[in-house]
Chain A
Amino acid sequence: MTHLPYVAASYALALVVGAAFAVDAWLRVRRAARRLEAIDPRRNREPRG
């Protein structure tokens, strides 16, 4: 493959950026849902996820 370092760096960058945002969003939702349920368990069962 020609220009391998440039192609590999581009793909690695895309995967790292995508994974970082996906994991951050998932953790943030999970943390908020748990905290909400701890504060008001009766009213806030639904939004978990």
Chain B
Amino acid sequence: MSPASGRSLHRFANPGRFLRISGRVLPFLAVPALVLTLGGLAWGLFVAPADYQQGDAMRIIYIHVPAAWLASGGYLGLAICALLSFVWRHPLADLAAVEIGPVGAAFTALCLATGSLWGKPMWGAWWVWDARLTSVLVLFFLYLGHIALVRAFDEPERGYRAGAILALIGVVNLPIIKFSVDWWNTLHQPSTITVTGAPSMHVDMLWPLLVCVLGFSLGFAAVVTARLRAAVMERRIRGLLLAQAQGS
């Protein structure tokens, strides 16, 4: 990143400016997220055809895949925040990482739970120690570790540093999750949608899935933005109270 782009990064890191911009952006994230998520889920549940082999259990894909995508995407966001914190000392990066953690962990848990609910009728087991499932479970523990670490110190800065180190080390798990179905002979099916190849599902199933992925992603962004707004205001409150206490 050039020095100019680094400067512009910091320009948008100003807490007051962030509150102004995020306040305007938030409705444009939240409303489409709600419409697309509910619309996509209804489309997948009532309109999209059932799978000829898996029957209606395949409809779990409309939750499982967006949750899996956001579990990995959220962790990538966490790692990017860690990098921004380490390299550019971005003032909001640490707060953003703290707020992404619980949301990412929830989506990872949702991915694991819906995977179990899909696995039981299809594989006959709630859980198998398959490479894909195990690597996602490791991701869930990384999220939990990050949540615990950033709150483990009396000095928040030390917690942020420790959390950032874990986030950067843990990012190595993301390609393992992605390629686990190719590198090992797993029970979990290979990727349905890839960047290079044509999707291996019918278009009548693909469209509601894409709508759900977009809706869930906007919802994730909206929740993280709202939590970050709250965190910025809470930090300002602490600062004001401290200043008042020192002044009196």
Judged by a CB distance under 8 angstroms, whether B208 is at the interface is no
Which A residue's beta carbon lies closest to that of B15? A47
- The answer to whether the Cβ of B202 comes within 8 Å of any Cβ in the partner chain is no
Query: Is B64 interfacial (CB-CB < 8 Å)?
Result: yes
**Among B151-159, B191-199, B233-241, which stretch is in contact with chain A?**
B233-241
Task: Identify which of A3, A7, A35 contacts B45 (C-beta below 8 A).
Answer: A7
Within 8 A of A (CB), among B219-248: 219, 222-223, 226-227, 229-230, 232-234, 236-237, 240-241, 244
The A interface is mostly helix, strand or loop, or mixed, namely helix
Number of A-B contacts (CB under 8 A): 101
Secondary structure class of chain B's binding surface, majority of residues: helix
Nearest chain B residue, comparing its CB with the CB of A35: B237
Residues 1 to 20 of chain A near chain B (Cβ within 8 Å): 1-4, 6-7, 9-11, 13-14, 17-18
List residues of A whose CB falls within 8 A of some B CB.
1-4, 6-7, 9-11, 13-14, 17-18, 21-22, 25-26, 28-29, 31-33, 35-36, 39-40, 44, 46-47, 49
